[in-house]
Structure 1
Amino acid sequence: MQVNWREITAARNTFAALYAACETEGFVLRQVSGPEDDVTCYSLNSINAPHFEDEIASAHCVTVVGGPHAAACPAEVAAYADYVVTGEGEHTLPRLLRAIEAGETRPIPGVATQDGICPPDHTVFLPAYPPFSQFKGYIEISRGCPFGCAYCQTPCIFGRRMRHRPVDEIARYAARFRDARFVTPNALAYGSDDGIHPRLDRVECLLRALDKNQIYFGTFPSEVRPEFVTDESLDLISTYCANRRLHFGAQSGSDRVLGLLRRGHTVADVENALDLCRDHGFTPVVDFIVGLPCEEDEDELATLALIREVTRRGRAHVHLFIPLPGTPMANLRPKALLSEMQRDLGRLALNGKISGSWGDPERRFYRNR
C-alpha cells in the first residue's frame, strides 16, 4: 500500500516526525503535491484547512487528515475526509494505516469518521519515537503546556502536563546538525516536573550535552515565558548558546486582560524580563496579540505603550487575534483596532521595529506550497 503525504509548508516539521514514526512500522510516506493512490495524508491548521477542503473531498483515494484543526473539529473534518486523526499522530497514524491495509472496519482509538469519534486510548511517550529520521526537522524537546491560555490550542491538543525527551536522545539527534534548534512551548521549562517551576539544573544538563553544536535556545521555535527570564537562566544561555536574542510572549500590556487570558504572568514580569535582557546583553523579541475581544480601549492603549517600550530595546512580533477552534475563545471575534494603534504599528513596521500581521491572519499562517 502506497502512503502519500501532501506537501504543505506549515506542516514540514510534522512530516519529519510522522515520517520517522511511520517508518518504524514499515510505512514510507511519499511527498506529493496533490492526492494520489492509495492513501494521502494531510496535516492542517485552522487557517489553511478551508483551502484544502475541496481537494480532500474530491480525492480519488483514501484521505487521512490530522493536525491542529482536525484535533479541534473532528466531526467537521470527517464530513469531507475518510479518516481524521484527533490528536497526537505518532502512534495513531501507523495504527490506522495498518487497519486500512488490512481492510478492517473497527473503530480506531484516536480516529474519527463519519460514523463517529473513537476516543484516544494513549498519550505519546516522547522517548518511544524519534524526532526525525531521513527528513530532518527541529527536535521537539518538550510537549504539553500547563498554563491553558484561553486563545491557545496547545493544551487542548497535547494536554497540560509537560513531557520531555531525554537529554541523551536530544544530543544524539542534534549531532546531525551544526546548529541545534528545538520545538517546545517554553524552552526554560525543559525538565520541569510541572512546567511551572523551572529546573535550571536540568536545562544546564541539556545544554552541556550539546557541546558539538552551536545552540539556539529561547529563540524561535523554542520561545520562553517572561517569568522564566531570570539572571540565572540568562547566565546559562549566555554561557552555552549562540543566540543573543531572546523570544518571549507578553501578549498584552494590561494585567486585567492577562488575567482574562489566563496567561499566568503580569506586565511587571514582562518589564522585568526586558530589564534583564538589557543587563545581560540580549535583544528581546516579544510577542503581542492585538484586537483581543476582551480588551477595552484603555487595555489596547496599555498594550501599545508596552509595544513602544519593547521597541526601544528590541523588537516586537504583533499579530491579530485569531479565534482558534477548540479554545475557550473560539467563538469570539477580533476587536477593531484603534486608529492610534494602527498608525503606530505601521510606523514601527516601516522602521523595522516590529513584524507580524495585524490585518490579514493568513499572511502569518497560510502557506499552500
Structure 2
Amino acid sequence: MNVNWRSISWAKNSFAALSAACECSGITLNEVDEPKDDITCYSLNSVNESHFRDEIAEAECITIVGGPHPTACYNDVSKYADYVVIGEGEYTLPALIRMIESGSHTLPAGVATKDQVVMPNHCVLLSSYPPFTSVKGYVEITRGCPFGCGYCQTPRLFGRHMRHRRIDDIERATRIFRDVRFVTPNALAYGSDGIHLRLDKVEKLFQSLTGRRIFFGTFPSEVRPECISDASLNLIENYCANRKVHFGAQSGSNHVLQILRRGHTAEDVMKAYDLCRDHGITPIVDYIVGLPDESDEEQRLSVKQMKEITRGGIVHVHHFTPLPGTPLAGRAARSVLPDVQRELGRMAQSGKATGSWIDAEVRFFKEDEDQLP
C-alpha cells in the first residue's frame, strides 16, 4: 500500500516528525504535490484548510487529515476527509495506517470519521521518537505550554504540561548539522515547567553541542519576555551564533495583556528590550493588532511601544486571526486604525517592521524566510 504526504510549505516540520514516526513502524511517506493512491495525508492549519478542502473532498484515494485546525474542528473536517487525526500524530498516524491496511474498522485513539470519534488517550514523549530521519527538519526539543493565551492553539493541541526531549537524543540528532535550530514554544524554558526556568539545563544542552553553530531564542525557537535576563542572555552570548532574540509582546496595553492571559506586562517587554540592547543583541518583538477587546487607544498604545522598540530593534506585526479551539475563537477582529496603518507603513519602509497587518494569511503562508537570523 502506498502512503503519501501532501507537500505543504507550512507543514514541513510536521512532515519530518511524522515521517520519522512512520519509519519506526516500517511505513514510508512519499511526498506528493496532489492526492495519490492509496493514502494521502495532510497537515492543515486554520487558514490553509479552506485552500485544500475541495481537493481532499474530491480525492479518489483515502485521505487522512491532521494538524491544528482538524484537531479543533474534527466534526467539520470529517465531513470531507476519510479520517481525521485529533492531536499529536506520532502514535496515531502509523496505527491508523496499519488499521487501514488490515481492513479493520476499530479506530485507534485520536481518530475521527463521519460516523465515529475515538478521543486521544495518550500524549507523546518526545524522546520516544526521533525528530526526523530521512526527511530532515528542525529539532523539536519541547512540546506543550503552561500559559493559556487566548489566541493560541498550542496548549489546546499539545497540553499545558511541558515535555522535553532528552539532551543525549538532541545531541545525537544534530550531529549531521553545522547549524542547529530548534522548535519549541519557549526556548529558555527548556528542561523546566515553563514558569520556573532551569537555565542550568539550558547550559547543559548547549555544552553537549560542541562544534555546532547554535541558533537559540530566534525563529523557530522564540522566547517569552519575562524569561529574558542577564543570565539567560549571557548563555546565548557565550554559546550561540545568533545576535537576535525573538520574543512576544502581543500588546502594549496591560489591560489587553491581562484579557489575553499572557502572564506578563508591558513593562516586562520593555525590560527585555533594554536587556537585549545592553548585551548587544537585536530584539525582534511580536505584536498582534485588531484584537477583539482592544480599544482604539490601546491599539495606539501598542504602536507607541512598537516605536520605542524600533529605536534598536524590529517589530513583527500581524492582524488578529481568531483560531478554532481557543478562547477567542469566533470573536471578530477589529479594524486596524488608519493612523496605525500609516505608522506601521512608515516602520516597514524603514525596515523596522515585518509581518502583515492587512492580510492575515501571510502569517501562515510566509513566516520562516524572514525570521531566520
Q: Do these two structures clear the TM 0.5 threshold for a shared fold by scoring above it?
A: yes
The reply on whether 1:320 has 2:303 as its aligned counterpart is: no
Task: Please give the residue correspondences for 1:178-197 in structure 2 after superposition, counting only pairs within 5 Å.
Answer: 178-192=178-192, 194-197=193-196
Match for 1:78: what amino acid?
A: S
Match for 1:110: what amino acid?
A: G
Match for 2:358: what amino acid?
A: G
Q: 329-338 vs 226-235, which deviates more? A: 329-338
- Rounded Cα–Cα distance in structure 2 between residues aligned with 1:39 and 1:298: 52
Q: 1:262 Cα shift?
A: 0.2
Task: Please give the residue correspondences for 1:196-345 in structure 2 after superposition, counting only pairs within 5 Å.
Answer: 196-345=195-344
Task: Please give the residue correspondences for 1:60-209 in structure 2 after superposition, counting only pairs within 5 Å.
Answer: 60-192=60-192, 194-209=193-208
Q: Judge conservation of contact 2:306–2:315 (CA < 8 Å) in 1.
A: yes
Q: 1:366 Cα shift?
A: 3.2
| SS of match in other structure, 2:316 | strand
| SS of match in other structure, 1:260 | helix
Q: 1:337 Cα shift?
A: 1.4
Q: Which consecutive unaligned segments of at least 5 residues does structure 2 have? A: 367-373
- Rounded Cα–Cα distance in structure 2 between residues aligned with 1:128 and 1:53: 33
Match for 2:53: what amino acid?
A: E
CA deviation map 1:20-53 (0-9, x unaligned): 0000101100011111110000000100000100
Q: 1:321 Cα shift?
A: 0.2
| SS of match in other structure, 2:255 | helix
Percent identity over the alignment is 61
Partner in structure 2 of residue 5 of structure 1? 5
Q: 1:174 Cα shift?
A: 1.1
- Rounded Cα–Cα distance in structure 1 between residues aligned with 2:340 and 2:97: 50
| SS of match in other structure, 1:335 | coil
- Rounded Cα–Cα distance in structure 2 between residues aligned with 1:58 and 1:142: 37
TM value normalised by structure 1? 0.98
| SS of match in other structure, 1:313 | coil
Partner in structure 2 of residue 23 of structure 1? 23
TM value normalised by structure 2? 0.97
- Rounded Cα–Cα distance in structure 1 between residues aligned with 2:32 and 2:174: 28
Q: 296-305 vs 149-158, which deviates more? A: 296-305
**Which segments of structure 1 move beyond 6 Å, counting only runs of 4 or more?**
none
- Rounded Cα–Cα distance in structure 2 between residues aligned with 1:333 and 1:208: 46
Match for 1:81: what amino acid?
A: A
| SS of match in other structure, 1:131 | coil
Q: 1:291 Cα shift?
A: 0.4
Partner in structure 1 of residue 51 of structure 2? 51
Q: Judge conservation of contact 1:190–1:202 (CA < 8 Å) in 2.
A: yes
Q: Judge conservation of contact 2:36–2:61 (CA < 8 Å) in 1.
A: yes
| SS of match in other structure, 1:312 | coil
- Rounded Cα–Cα distance in structure 1 between residues aligned with 2:362 and 2:126: 32
- Rounded Cα–Cα distance in structure 1 between residues aligned with 2:134 and 2:365: 26
Q: Judge conservation of contact 2:96–2:107 (CA < 8 Å) in 1.
A: no
Match for 1:270: what amino acid?
A: V
Match for 1:122: what amino acid?
A: H
- Rounded Cα–Cα distance in structure 2 between residues aligned with 1:364 and 1:337: 16
Q: Judge conservation of contact 1:320–1:361 (CA < 8 Å) in 2.
A: yes
- Rounded Cα–Cα distance in structure 2 between residues aligned with 1:301 and 1:11: 34
- Rounded Cα–Cα distance in structure 2 between residues aligned with 1:339 and 1:126: 46
Match for 1:228: what amino acid?
A: C
CA deviation map 1:117-142 (0-9, x unaligned): 11111110111000000111000000
CA deviation map 1:94-131 (0-9, x unaligned): 00000000001123210000012111111101110000
Match for 2:340: what amino acid?
A: M
CA deviation map 1:318-368 (0-9, x unaligned): 00000001000011111111111010001111111100000111122137x
CA deviation map 1:67-111 (0-9, x unaligned): 111111000100000000011000000000000000011232100
- Rounded Cα–Cα distance in structure 1 between residues aligned with 2:247 and 2:31: 34
- Rounded Cα–Cα distance in structure 2 between residues aligned with 1:357 and 1:21: 34
| SS of match in other structure, 2:90 | helix
Q: Which consecutive unaligned segments of at least 5 residues does structure 1 have? A: none
CA RMSD of aligned residues (A): 0.7
